[in-house]
């Protein structure tokens, strides 16, 4: 079986890292995999092209850097003719729409879309919704990365639930696993809270900053470290808030981090205050690292974190609630450590890359009759 993946960029983000893990594990199962990207990376982030190539996964760059330049459609059509994949698997809206616009041309293969988020109109513009609806309706199968995404597809875009398969993200837990702390570093004179994400309003970093004003009154040595690239310049807004609250010694914006396991290893609590997510991959990474999690009580984060078992779920946009949860974990190191251990177990059992690849391959094989290239059963 040969699969051609089409994705917007290869910047180190949730969808792109998901694809890297998926391709690695499909390759180990004998699936020939090619990745085509519209653009290689975005500002202040790291390209994953070498990571793919180092694992023997061929990358084709389509040189479509501008979102307003759709001349790449011809290059996609020619790539399909030359590569002759059994499956075209698209990721992220621009790639999904591109596939829909050339749908079934020249012996088009089976067509799968992975929907990596709940795409709000304010992000892509009202013009995009009809095209995304067309893409998901034309696809032979749609993968939703969470129940929340599946519900959005049905409710807002009218996509038949029979077509949608939920396949949660998966990671390689051993990359993140380390010793789970039985005591917080507060006992050694400091306590570290960490968070990861693009610096943008929807990630709720302003809520975490305000929460730290409260936390520091109870744990004076506490520090919040926020990692992530800043494509919109939102970091300036956060810096102004940090200065206004006199938290310069307690809150640090440390930029994009290419070594996430090392970043996670040096914290006591992972906090994630996002207001909307498609899944929340950084949470399973933190859980794999054995960290107790404080997260917004929103779908799909409720699909990942088991409240009071692997972490604490609190109301979004509520600095007091986040502060109370963070402070409690810092003050109860034994219970926090037990949550971290249970979180590791949950990731190994439910959110591994191997599980994700197996479920995806099962979906591919179920589409054997859809292949227009006559490969019987899409055999491995």
Q: Which two tokens stand for residue 99?
A: 């596939």
CA 198 to chain centre: 11
Whether 2-170+353-378 shares its CATH topology with 173-350 is answered: yes
The candidate with the shortest Cα–Cα distance to 157, out of 202, 103, 121, is 121
Nearest to 52 by CA among 76, 39, 34: 34
pTM score: 0.89
For every residue of 326-360, DSSP letters joined together read HHHHHH-HHHHHHHHHHHHHHHHHHSBHHHHHHHH
Task: Give residue limits of the domains in the chain.
Answer: 2-170+353-378, 173-350
SS3 (DSSP) at 207: helix
CA distance 58 to 53: 6
Nearest to 196 by CA among 267, 313, 282: 282
C-beta of residue 205 within 8 angstroms of C-beta of residue 183: no
Q: Phi, psi (5° rounding) for residue 41?
A: -160, 170
User: What phi and psi values does residue 37 have, to the nearest 5 degrees?
Assistant: -120, 145
Helices 72-83 and 93-101 sit at what angle, rounded to 10 degrees?
70
Q: Which two tokens stand for residue 244?
A: 């206004």
**CB-CB contact of 246 with 272 (8 Å):** no
Closest CA to 29 of 52, 58, 2, 53: 2
In this predicted structure, what is the pLDDT of residue 377? Answer: 43
Architecture of the domain delimited by 2-170+353-378:
3-Layer(aba) Sandwich (3.40)
The neighbour count for residue 289, using CB atoms within 10 Å, is 28
The CATH-assigned architecture of domain 173-350 is: 3-Layer(aba) Sandwich (3.40)
Determine the 3-state secondary structure of 212 from DSSP: helix
Among 56, 70, 68, residue whose Cα is nearest residue 20: 56
How far apart are the C-alpha atoms of 10 and 46, rounded to whole Å? Answer: 8
Please, what is the angle between helix 14-28 and helix 281-288, to 10°?
60
Per-residue pLDDT of the chain (380 residues; tens, 9 = 90+): 999 999 999 998 889 999 999 999 999 999 999 999 998 876 667 899 999 999 999 999 998 877 777 888 989 999 999 999 999 999 999 999 998 888 766 567 899 999 999 987 555 667 778 889 999 999 999 999 999 999 999 998 999 999 999 999 999 999 998 655 544 444 445 899 999 999 999 999 999 999 999 999 999 999 999 999 998 899 999 999 999 999 999 999 999 998 999 999 999 999 999 999 999 999 999 999 999 999 999 999 999 999 999 999 999 999 999 999 999 999 999 999 999 999 999 999 999 999 999 999 999 999 974 454 444 344 44
């Amino acid at each position: 079986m040969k699969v051609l993946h089409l994705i917007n960029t290869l910047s180190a983000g949730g969808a792109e890292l998901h694809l890297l893990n998926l391709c690695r594990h499909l390759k180990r199962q004998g699936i020939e995999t090619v990745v085509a990207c519209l653009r290689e990376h975005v500002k202040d982030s790291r390209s994953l092209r070498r990571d793919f190539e180092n694992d023997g996964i061929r990358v084709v760059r389509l040189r479509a850097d501008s979102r307003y330049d759709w001349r790449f459609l011809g290059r996609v059509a020619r790539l399909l003719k030359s590569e002759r994949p059994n499956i075209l698997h698209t990721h992220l809206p621009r790639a999904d729409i591109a596939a829909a616009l050339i749908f079934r041309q020249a012996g088009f293969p089976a067509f799968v879309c992975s929907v990596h988020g709940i795409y709000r109109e304010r992000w892509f513009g009202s013009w995009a919704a009809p095209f995304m609806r067309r893409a998901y309706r034309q696809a032979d199968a749609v993968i939703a990365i969470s129940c929340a995404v599946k519900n959005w597809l049905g409710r807002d875009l009218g996509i038949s639930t029979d077509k949608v398969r939920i396949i949660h993200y998966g990671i390689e837990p051993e990359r993140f696993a380390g010793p789970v702390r039985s005591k917080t570093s507060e006992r050694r004179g400091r306590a570290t809270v960490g968070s990861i994400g693009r610096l943008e309003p929807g990630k709720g970093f302003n809520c975490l900053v305000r929460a730290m004003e409260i936390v520091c009154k109870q744990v004076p040595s506490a520090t919040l470290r926020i990692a992530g690239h800043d494509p919109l310049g939102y970091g300036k807004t956060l810096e102004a808030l940090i200065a206004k609250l006199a938290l310069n010694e307690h809150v640090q914006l440390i930029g994009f981090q290419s070594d996430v396991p090392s970043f996670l290893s040096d914290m006591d609590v992972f906090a994630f205050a996002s207001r909307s997510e498609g899944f929340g991959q950084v949470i399973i990474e933190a859980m794999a690292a054995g960290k107790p999690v404080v997260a917004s009580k929103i779908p799909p984060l409720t699909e990942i974190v088991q409240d009071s078992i692997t972490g604490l779920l609190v109301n979004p946009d509520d600095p007091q609630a986040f502060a109370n949860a963070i402070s409690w974990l810092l003050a109860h190191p034994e219970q926090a450590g037990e949550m971290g251990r249970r979180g590791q177990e949950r990731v190994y059992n439910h959110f591994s890359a191997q599980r994700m690849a197996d479920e995806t391959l099962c979906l591919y094989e179920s589409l054997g009759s859809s292949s227009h290239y006559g490969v019987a059963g899409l055999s491995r």
